[in-house]
Structure 1
Amino acid sequence: MNTRLKQFLAAENISQAQFADTIKVVRASVSHVMSGRNNPGYDFIKAIMSSYPTLNIEWLILGKGKMYKDTVQNSPTIPSNNDLPPIFDEPDLFDQGTYPDNMIIDETVADSQVYDNIPAISSSNTPSANAQQVVKQRKAVKVTIFFDDGTYQEMGI
């Protein structure tokens, strides 16, 4: 497989480092596969497939067929929102047009009308005047940052 991978890199006119950066693997992994030291794993092959969709993976792995796929498969077309029938017959709530009478809110409600409906708080749940409330302050001692490449860094405070 390493000879076919070398042929592919030559056809694409890219270096091993550029190839590793494109498929988002460690450069040493590409070097080890190219030298024959390691065989490529599933994640390595999957990264090649996603980065180079025109490459014939069967050719790369088994040596069968042509280097590149003959035709690119057409992806199914997704209809736009304009082509779909409406699901609900209700008006759009965010539309700036007219609204039915039952949807208009009377904003002239007096404050006293609003506060009358609030229930009184029971005094049985409130702490007594003699009780002291103890609050223990917490302090951060370590922060760990996780990066998208799988590494992390810990920092003591």
Structure 2
Amino acid sequence: MLNTEDFIKRLEIILEYYGLNASTFADKIGVQRSSLSHLLSGRNKPSLDFVLKILDVYPEVDLYWILNGKGSFPESASTVSDQPALPQTENLVGPSLFDGIEPQTETPTDIPEKKPEAMLPKTYTQAGIDKIVVFYQDGTFMSYVPK
């Protein structure tokens, strides 16, 4: 079971480490300021969604450390090195995909520069653009309609 008092202490360590006040931290992780205030005062307990938002914005925060105090913050290089390494290419069976390929040292100059209009299919440039929608990672979007 999660000890809320200890969780709040670890949360305060994160705020101090990044030099943030509670309202700025709440804005950065995408929660309401009042939610963070209630959590810091001990009125509410942290939800899984709250913890995941912290880990998403601050990947240096170790999940086990913030939940139960085990591990370290910020996540040390030794924690990362404890994970099994990827196999080296000499351990793989068969020839390497890149055997016999020399690295390119110069940029090719004989490739003509293409303009963005030339890369679009003719159907799009002839039909015109009706609307452009930009989706952001936080779930919001913006719509642009040319005149």
Give the TM-score normalised by the residue count of structure 2.
0.48
Give the greater-gyration-radius structure (CA): 1
Q: Higher relative contact order by CA 8 Å / sep ≥ 6: 1 or 2?
A: 2
- Could you say which structure has the higher helix fraction? 2
